[in-house]
Amino acid sequence: MPKYYDVLDSNELVVLHEVSNLLTSSLDLKESINCVFELLHSRLGFMKGILTVVNQTTMLPSIKVSYGINSEEFKSQSFKQWEAITSKVLQSRGPMIIPHLDEAFDISGIKNVESVEDESFICLPLILGEDIFGTLAVDFLFRDDENLQFIIKLLDVVALLIAQELKLKKLLDIEKESLRKENVSLKHELSEKYDIHNMLGKSKVMRDVYQAIKQVSSSNATVLIRGESGTGKELVAHAIHYQSQRAAKPFIRINCAAIPESLIESELFGHQKGAFTDAFETKIGKFEAAHGGTIFLDEVTELSPQMQVKLLRVLQEKEITRVGGLDVISVDVRMIAATNNDLEKAIQLKKVREDFYYRLNVFPILLPPLRDRNMDVLLLAEHFLERYCLDNNKSISRISSAVSDILTYYQWPGNVRELENCIERAVIMCNGDIVLPKHLPPSIKVLEDEEVFSFSGNVSLKDKVSRYEKKIIIDMLDNVNGNISKAAKSLHTTHRILGYRISQLNIDVDKIKAS
Ligand SMILES: Nc1ncnc2c1ncn2[C@@H]1O[C@H](COP(=O)(O)OP(=O)(O)OP(=O)(O)O)[C@@H](O)[C@H]1O
Ligand SMILES: [Mg+2]
């Protein structure tokens, strides 16, 4: 063991610098104090050390780190003396220095006889301002008074550094606790608004949807999500998965409309090498990849009746066979399907098999169109405003009341997605602090010009119908960049009839094209 007097000439600043580095190098105080004791031992020959920390709530002391003391010594008489000194130091808030331990008497007046060498003992309070954080006690060989003074001076600074660390920890703990409380209260506040996994909406219809999601999440039941385009079906599928016990396992989406018929089986169930011309390698399918998790079959009505039969079997048997393979592979997968099609009509048209429909329809969730959840529109609009401001590095503070009126009364044929796109566009268009009607897409803005939605006063049925008709035509023209032929086709009418209505309803097609 190196003797402290060998290194006495070493610059005390170097030691202090190392101590300070050690204290700030780790977030784990216990670990860094241990390193400090190790350093004091190797550089100055300290033999034993104890850091006692006072709990800042109960003010009770406890040993945080001990160095060089074995379990036997903990039970010894001299250790009891250490303990007694520590509590005295805590009470008096002053240091206790015993140059020669063998000459000291313990608290009960018994002379300490266990010490064989001439040891010194120092116990310093860890104080910063009014706060006392604990004590630092060390035991080392006595050399001479000068050396003792040097060590006292050095330890004084070490104690201050440790006290600073403990104060910092105390402040961090207070901040952590206040953040935790704030987090809990924000979560509580949010739960009233958001309720489920990224889904916004406080309307009764949406609360019913949340309830359904909560109910079904804990089960393994197949879920069928129905709703118009842009109503949030994919969000619901996510919510179910992430609320379920499968959350840590994969969630795999398959867009049934986007995969060619010839590839879908291999995509879903995988294939063996050589199963078909391009099968150069054995590949696992989405069902195997989703094992333990959830598979989301989006636009499920696009699957061919043959595939429906195969899926039905998988759902019943919970087994798959790779294309070209012989082995039967067990899979544990929860299935969620979604469609915006009229399923009953699809059955009539023989696009969807009835048995498949019944198997899917175990737990249907119907997402209401945005026009049926009017009270959520502004909530969603503000949410998207915040998000797209962040994305586009803009600071728009609010939506004008005129825009709020327009958004609230608009019928949103494209549902939440259309609202999201509308706000994204407004954020891009707006260079000021407030979103104004001029920042909205023409299909919405034009209507505002003519107060289409304010049905106050004496408005005849004919007028109301005309206004809606105008809105529908403008929306469609906006979708197809003002192309009348395309709009006519989508609205199942002729170019001539649509052209006539456009002129009757005073729709400015050029303005729509320009936008
Ligand atoms: N309740 C909601 N809260 C927040 N964002 C929503 C909500 N509903 C939908 N959205 C957002 O609207 C967009 C469309 O949602 P999503 O893709 O889930 O709709 P969809 O019903 O699957 O549409 P499609 O039938 O066209 O596939 C997404 O960007 C989604 O994040
Ligand atoms: Mg979708």
Task: Give the pair of three-digit tokens for residue 17.
Answer: 């610098």
How many domains does one find in the chain?
3
Q: Is 230's C-beta closer than 6 angstroms to any atom of ligand 1?
A: yes
Cα-to-chain-centroid distance, residue 205 = 26
- Mean pLDDT of the region 459-484: 82
Q: What is the DSSP string of 200-227?
A: ---SHHHHHHHHHHHHHHTS---EEEEE
Which of 331, 347, 368 marks a domain boundary?
368
Distance in angstroms (rounded) separating the CA atoms of residues 27 and 33: 11
Q: Is 417's C-beta closer than 6 angstroms to any atom of ligand 1?
A: yes
Domain extent for 130? 4-174
30: left (phi over 0), alpha (psi -120 to 50) or beta: alpha
Report helix, strand or coil for 35: helix
Q: Is 235's C-beta closer than 6 angstroms to any atom of ligand 1?
A: yes
- Mean pLDDT of the region 415-424: 96
Confidence of residue 187 (pLDDT cuts 50, 70, 90): low
Q: Which of 191, 231, 184, 182 is nearest to 214 (CA)?
A: 191
Looking at residue 10, its pLDDT comes to 55
Residue 13 has pLDDT above 80, yes or no: no
> How much is the pTM?
0.56
Q: Is 422's C-beta closer than 6 angstroms to any atom of ligand 1?
A: no
In terms of pLDDT, which residue wins out, 301 or 475? 301
In terms of pLDDT, which residue wins out, 374 or 419? 419
Residue indicated by tokens 């026009």 = 371
Residue 400 and residue 326 share a domain: no
Which of 321, 351, 368 marks a domain boundary?
368
Question: Cβ distance 139 to 46 under 8 Å?
Answer: yes
Q: Give kind and range of the element (H or E) at residue 188.
A: helix 145-193
* % of the chain at pLDDT higher than 90: 43
Is 355 a member of any domain? yes
Q: What is the DSSP string of 377-411?
A: HHHHHHHHHHHHHHHTT----EE-HHHHHHHHHS-
Expressed in angstroms and rounded, the spacing between residue 262 Cα and the centre of ligand 2 is 23
Q: 207-260 pLDDT, tens per residue?
A: 999 999 999 999 999 999 999 999 999 999 999 998 899 988 999 999 999 988
Residue 402 has pLDDT above 90, yes or no: no
Looking at residue 453, its pLDDT comes to 53
Residue 447 has pLDDT above 60, yes or no: no
Is 182 a member of any domain? no
Residue 108 has pLDDT above 50, yes or no: no
Q: 211-223 pLDDT, tens per residue?
A: 999 999 999 999 9
Q: Give kind and range of the element (H or E) at residue 369.
A: none
Residue 440 and residue 348 share a domain: no
Average pLDDT, rounded, for the chain: 85
Residue 123 and residue 262 share a domain: no
Residue 225 and residue 359 share a domain: yes
- Angle (CA) 438-379-396 rounded to 5° is 45
Ligand 1: which of 299, 341, 417, 479 to mutate, most ligand atoms within 8 Å of CB? 417
Q: Is 238's C-beta closer than 6 angstroms to any atom of ligand 1?
A: no
In terms of pLDDT, which residue wins out, 365 or 511? 365
Is 190 a member of any domain? no
CATH assignment at residue 251: 3.40.50.300
Task: Give the pair of three-digit tokens for residue 366.
Answer: 């119907």
Looking at residue 471, its pLDDT comes to 79
Looking at residue 303, its pLDDT comes to 93
Residue 376 and residue 364 share a domain: no
- Nearby residues of 414 by Cβ (< 8 Å), 6 or more positions away: 229, 230, 421
Residue 511 has pLDDT above 70, yes or no: yes
Which of 324, 344, 368 marks a domain boundary?
368
Q: 249-300 pLDDT, tens per residue?
A: 999 999 999 988 888 999 999 998 877 777 778 888 999 999 999 999 999 9
Residue 451 and residue 349 share a domain: no
Q: Which of 415, 412, 465 is nearest to 443 (CA)?
A: 412
Looking at residue 287, its pLDDT comes to 94
Lowest-confidence range among 357-366, 396-405, 492-501? Answer: 396-405
Report phi then psi at 129, rounded to 5: 60, -125
Expressed in angstroms and rounded, the spacing between residue 305 Cα and the centre of ligand 2 is 21
CATH assignment at residue 509: 1.10.8.60
Q: Is 199's C-beta closer than 6 angstroms to any atom of ligand 1?
A: yes
Q: What ligand is nearest to the CA atom of residue 235? A: 1
Distance in angstroms (rounded) separating the CA atoms of residues 76 and 83: 11
